[in-house]
Structure 1
């Protein structure tokens, strides 16, 4: 029997064995996820949907929205979970959507996700640039002025994202409002233009984070350098500490990613919650999966295959997680 047929048979047997969770005495519980609609995030949802299916759940049609709407939808019970909730970056969204009374954080799925400001290494070395505050120098900011208004153009985040709020805060806290334009829009479309400029030998100035395929295309130390923030400052957090142990400061706090779950759903579905709480996908694994997708494997069946390959590469841990979740009460 071919390997794919064996895998299909194995999955069918698991579903048959576990269907008693929700079948026989009652219909399968339908689970509604909500996401930003980003294709790189879809990789995570494919993994989660495979796990929920193995536990006997039915995966419903996915909803989409921006981060504030995602959190509100889960708090109100219009959706059951989202797979990308960064703490502390999304704390305000959490608190504004019902907090602990309406929401549950499961996990974390991965920890110590980073974000920062970057420029191309050629421009950095030629001009001695290593700090964000150097954008106050007219000669420095002119290097990154792409629209001719005299200000450096930063490729920033989508409106409504947590990082957009942090960048806007930094422009004021660091005194950069009159020196830097925060270019907002569809982030990955903006980054495609940024990468094109880099490949054409032009200076670039942007923000990004890990896990993210961009970190594999524009590699720190080879293609780009990290800019130090002058001090720690985050919106709504006067005690923020973003400095790393090596003395560098990205300006953004390290984040842990949780699966965010509607509390009523969490209370009623201990097996799903055990799976959510136990699922671990490393930043490195996710970045590699996203880079593979960006390299051309973007069709739905290809994204599903990337997720299946990750499960196969971690089969023993996966089987143990499913077994533990099945026994949860």
Structure 2
């Protein structure tokens, strides 16, 4: 969030009339951005787009793209950039040899993307839930089974999101398939349903990340608690960041440190190299 504040400050400074009048390196250049399909990434996109406009660029309305489609499009030059790269979480979704045409530039939020599983605090205390393994216990499965299939229900990630692959990996290595049902519908709608169930006094179990509106509605430590994975078993793509899969000082965690099971990601701009080469002012702004 500090990084977003600095970007906003830079944008305000760039808005000084003398700067706008005398130095518009982007004048006459049309820019094609994209943005992620999760709504918490919209603010980051809007902030960077406004900055480019202050530099004189004509920035088109962003295209909403799933991660794999974006990385393919930016490599081909159909899209110039987006602000929603989560690394190393997205590394495995980038096409082979994409580094020849695509560059990761600067930081929107360095180590700013915490991810993990949260459970309603009342049930954490009632059933002594500390990790995903506790959802193999019959009484816990029954408490979190909202559709009558005999499994605990987890509000998970839609297809095409990087977190979907990590959750699938967790189900495999921790043997969760017979105990937990991952709900992969649209995330915002699924979380709205989750919050409604919580407000009705029902147990909830969901994946989320921060910064995110979900933990503004269901506050860690007050309403919900972050829980552990049983042990850290990284995917190949997570191995470079394995030391960031266990985190300390997390408010509302059942333990300290917390074995989150997800790498605390860097949120970064990803752009087409040819676009950056032709627009050094845009690249410099991305690096701010």
Shorter-normalised TM-score: what interval? 0.7 to 0.9
Q: Cα deviation per residue 1:183-240 (whole Å; 9 max; x = unaligned)?
A: 1010010000000000000000001000101111111110001111111123324843
Map 1:164-179; keep pairs closer than 5 Å.
164-179=164-179
Alignment of 1:18-97 (within 5 A): 18-19=23-24, 21-23=25-27, 28-94=28-94, 96=95
Residue correspondences, number = 264
Counterpart in the other structure of 2:7: none
| Alignment partners' CA distance in 2, 1:129 and 1:40 | 28
Once residues 22 and 156 of structure 1 are traced to their aligned partners in structure 2, the CA distance between those partners, rounded to angstroms, is 41
Task: Report SS of the residue matched to 2:246.
Answer: coil
Q: How does 1:1-329 map to 2 (within 5 A)?
A: 13-19=18-24, 21-23=25-27, 28-94=28-94, 96=95, 98-112=97-111, 113-237=113-237, 239=239, 240-241=242-243, 242-245=245-248, 246-278=256-288
Give how far 1:47 is off.
1.1
Q: Distance in 2 between matches of 1:230 and 1:97?
A: 32
**Post-superposition CA distance 1:60-83 (Å, at most 9, x none):** 232221110011100110000011
Listed as ranges, the gaps of 5+ residues in structure 1 are 1-6, 279-329
SS for the counterpart of 1:114 is strand
> Could you list the runs of 5+ residues in structure 2 that have no partner in the other structure?
1-11, 249-255
Q: Name whichever of 193-202 and 236-245 sits farther off.
A: 236-245
Q: CA deviation at 1:14?
A: 3.6
Rg larger in structure:
1
Instruction: Identify if the C-alpha distance between structure 1 residues 50 and 22 changes in structure 2 by more than 3 Å, giving closer, same or farther.
Output: closer
My pick for the range that moved more, 240-249 or 119-128, is 240-249
Relative to its length, the structure with more strand (as a share) is 2
Instruction: Name the residue aligned to 1:310.
Output: none
Name whichever structure is richer in helix by fraction. Answer: 1
Q: CA deviation at 1:42?
A: 2.2
**Distance in 1 between the 2:232 and 2:39 partners?**
32
Could you say what the CA RMSD is over the residues aligned between the two structures, in angstroms? Answer: 1.7
What's the CA shift for 1:142? 1.0
Normalising by structure 2, report the TM-score: 0.87
Contact 1:71/1:97 (<8 A) preserved = no
